[in-house]
Every structure is written in C-alpha cells, then in structure tokens.
Amino acid sequence: MPPDLERGISEAYLRLCEGKKRLVRGAVRSSAVHEDGEFSFAGQYTTFLNVPGDSILQRYKDVVASLYSPGALTCYKTKGYHENGIAMSVGIQEMIEVKAAGVLYTRDPNSPGEDSILISAVLGLGGLAVEGLTTPVRYRVARLPFSVVRWDEIQVQTEMFVCRADGDIEKVPVPDSGLERTCLSEKHIKKLSDFSLAIEDHYGCPQDIEWAVDDLGRVFVVQTRPLVIPSMQAQAEPYTPLTGYRVLLDKGTITSRGIGCGRATIVSAMDDLRTFTDNAVLATKYTSTRFAPVIGKARALVTDIGSATMHMATIAREFGVPALVGTGGATRVIRNDQEVTVDAIHGIVYDEIVKELVDKGGEKKVRAPETRFLTLAKRVCGLIVPLTLVDTDGEVFRPECCKTLHDITRFAHQKAMHEMFTITSDYPEDSEVYRLGIGIPLCIDVIDLGESITVSAKKGLHREHIHSLPLGAFLDGLSALPWPEPRHIDVRGFFGMVAHTAAIPEEELVRIGERSFAFISREYYEFFHQTGVSSLCYGGVRRRTFERQLHQILF
C-alpha cells in the first residue's frame, strides 16, 4: 500500500469510530470505473462484509485485485473495455446488524409497461438472494397508489447468513420462529417503495437496488444501479404447450426473455465450467456470478433455485441469454448432453429441439455483445468507408462535397493522377525523365531515382538501358506477349480483341494505351497508369532510400 493511501484510510476509519463512539465493522465494496454503467458487472467484483478495523486495508487490496477475476475479465473484454482504462475505487460503509435484506427492481424487466415494483427478500444478509442460493420471498408492489400484492407463496427459508463476532460471515439455520415469516412488514415495503421511486426519479431510469433492514427496523439503501430492460418486452399471452413434444419443466421465473435450444450441460461444480462448450444450455442447481465466463457461450440458462433479482439474472439479460430460474428440478429432470429447448417467453422447457419455435425465428441467437469497440467502429467506419463522389466528371466532384475519408482519398487521388498525366512531354533538360520505347502500345515515361539507366538522351530509351531489376522483369514479361500489328497505330484493334476476350468494355481498355509513369531504382519500381491502376515492387532494404529520393524529386 502506498503510505499516504494507507494513512488516509486508517485516519478515516478512526474518525468514523470516534463519531459512533465504538469500533465499527465495515462493508468494503467495489466502485470501479464503468461499473453499474452501460454494463453492470453485477457480482463480478468482490464485496466483504463485517470487516473489523484491522482487516480493512487487506480487504481494500482484495477488492482492487478483483478487477482481474475471471468473471470481471470476461465482462469487460466482451464489452470492449481495456484493463488500462478501468480503475477501482473502494467504498467502506458502516456495517449494520441485518435482520432482512434483498433486491428491488423499480420496474419488472419482463413487463416494463406494468406499473409495479418487484421486491425479493431473505432473512439475514442478502448474499443468499443476490447469489441465487435460495428462492426468496417475492412481492409485487403497485407503484401509485401504493398496494402490496405478494405474487408467490411464502418461502420456507431454512438457512441464513449472519455476522459473527470475530468478523466473519456464517451460514446458520433459521430459528423456528422465523421459518414462516414473510421477511418484511407492509411498513417496510412502503418505505422501500418510497425510496425506490425517489431514486428512480433522481437517476431518470429504472433502478436495480440492494437494500437491508436492521434489527431496529430501519431501512437502508445499500446500492443502486441502472436496471437493464431488454428490447423483447411483449407480455406473454395465455399459452398452451406445443403438442408433439414432451414438456420437461413448466414452471419457474423468467429472468431473461427469449428462446434457446441446444445440448444441456449440467454444472454442479466450478470445474465443470472448464469443459463447457459453445452453444450448450447451462443447467445448474443455483447460479453463481462465477458462471459469468461461460454465460456468453450459452444458448440458455435453467436453474433449480433463484429469482429474477439475482446478479446472474442481470448478467444473462446483458448478454442476451434466455434464462428460466427457480424451476425446482432442472438438474433432476434434464440429463447431461440431452437436447432441450428453453422457452423463456412462456416458461417451458421441452425435450429435444422444437422445430416450430426455431423455424418461426423464435430462437434467440447468442451473439457477441455490442462492445464499446464495435459501437465506436461502426460510427467511425461511417465516416471512412462510404464513397459518395462516384462521378469524376460530375458537378459535385469538389472538395467541399467530400463526406468521408474515402471521398477525400478518391478526390485527392483523381486530381493527383490528372495533374500527373497532363504534364507536358517537354521536361526540363536537367530532369531524369525518359520516354521508353519497347515496341508495345504503351507510352511510358521513366523517372530515374538513381543509377538505373545508362543513357543521357531523352529519346530512344530501350530495354538494354534499364538496370532496374523489377522494371526489367516487368518489361520482359510485356515484350513476351504476342502483341498484334501494327503495334503503334492500330491500338483500338488490339484492345477490341482483348475486350472481346475478357468481356471488358473496349472504351475502358483503350485507355491502357495512354500515358504511364514508372519511378525506378535498381531494386524498386512503381508503375502508374492514367486509369488509376498502379503496381509496386521493391526490395525491402531499399525502400526508405527510394521514398526519400522520390520525396526530393516530387517536392
């Protein structure tokens, strides 16, 4: 730790303890650049709860190190971020004695038009809810006017996370008195509802909120992030399963709408992720944010336990992977390598591939997420690739009409070629320009960049005077062709023959006989023709020398 940073954190912690008049345990949480922005990174960075003062510095370092966890790496690589552009700050909050906790959505992602709030709650710390380790008590709350409608039966929660006196977190049995509790009173739900509406109004978009209620009944908002609302928002109408296919599962909570099919892979341990194949259906007892490295490969996600508000549901929506959770028996009913179709629009899992759904285009194709790089590349390519200046003789062929880089290079190239090929044949006496004559219908002016021609006259340059290896080979190849007679007069007759043979308009080919230039050195030549066609050949060791000589001659 840098000494000034270590000192700053320690002094801030002491001030917090002095204000509370007791030793405070902390919640050490991530707050990274890009986190909870366009992509949530939900659950991919580490959070530590119930941290004693003497461990805060170490936990600070552990949170920073979680920037490089496999899940975090997967998320920001697929979204086009680079590790050099991501920084981690760490928030340290006072730990409270938690009675109940959970997650709240200010809108239902599957029915955003419905004016309701979704609340998931568990007894004890909220890790069971956000990690999908249990199916929480779930409430649907009408926003305005406020009313509570519990949308499922009271869940029997048998275990809960609690803070230990030594600073650790422990999973313990729920006391008998709490087995049938609903976790939240209507007063708490009303308070959460008021908070959520205020937060959504502040940020101007639906929110995914983590909350906690302490042992005194006080409600705390722990974290908020933008809620991903998928584009597929239509409310499913009453639906009857398709006939001719065996239904494996017909219950569960849809957390990411769509249809996916493929061979199932049962994941019961983290080691199973190493062999997870592309385009498989991921079936597991409960989800974990550590599954993030493979979620982008999956056709669909099915779980035994879980809720719409867990972190993995958020990741599935962001990756566009259909997900059906809390089915009660996915890993018991589905066999490893079995072909299944997950209908996460109507909440059904079928045995084998359902042709009707696939043929109708219902299957949601898994694709690479729209990364920042691809978004930027699309925008930039729009300013580079399109060509609008297609008519060189048109009135719009002017600098001010260039709309893209392609237009600019096209305009500059055309004007440069025009200037080059309208130069008079009366070159200055001291210029190294020679007219080449080798008995073919090409008018080639050769510009010597040094020690490539052994003649001083401006006329009568022939093949034997050329000491440029690549140009010599080029000319030898041209001379070997059976050029028609007469070579210098009946040019159109020759090009008419080629046009007939090559199915190229004669008007285009006849221009080949017009003026050309060749810049040459002993190991380099570059050939320019009036049509805009050029060829290039050089020995790499001479390239810099040639470019320097060419620059001196031209400029």
Pairing mode, strands 433-436 and 443-448: antiparallel
Topology agreement, domain 1-95 and domain 247-359: no
Q: What CA–CA distance (Å, rounded) separates 343 from 299?
A: 11
Contact 59, 65 (CB under 8 A): no
What is the CATH number assigned to the segment(s) 247-359? Answer: 3.50.30.10
| DSSP letter string, 62-110 | HHHHGGGSHHHHHHHHHTT--GGG--EEEEEEE---EEEEEEEESS-TT
Pick the CATH number of 97-229 from 3.30.470.20, 3.40.710.10, 3.60.70.12, 3.40.91.10: 3.30.470.20
Model confidence at 392, in pLDDT bands (50, 70, 90)? confident
| Three-state DSSP state, 514 | coil
| Helix, strand, coil % over all residues of the chain, rounded to 5 | 35, 25, 45
- At residue 540, the pLDDT reads 45
Neighbours of 59 (CB within 10 A): 21
Give strand pairing partners of 219: 213
Tokens of residue 530, six digits: 């009036």
Q: What CA–CA distance (Å, rounded) separates 284 from 276?
A: 12
DSSP H helices, 153-247, are: 186-203
Report pLDDT digits (tens) over 116-135: 898 988 888 887 777 666 77
The length of the chain is: 555
| Three-state DSSP state, 233 | coil
Report pLDDT digits (tens) over 331-361: 999 999 999 999 988 889 999 998 888 766 5
What average pLDDT is seen over the chain? 78
Which residue, 142, 309, 318, 291, is CA-closest to 228?
318
Tokens of residue 359, six digits: 């043929």
pTM for the model: 0.55
DSSP H helices, 336-438, are: 355-359, 372-381, 405-421
Domain ranges of the chain: 1-95, 97-229, 247-359, 433-554
| Three-state DSSP state, 357 | helix
What is the CATH number assigned to the segment(s) 1-95? Answer: 3.30.1490.20
Contact 311, 317 (CB under 8 A): no
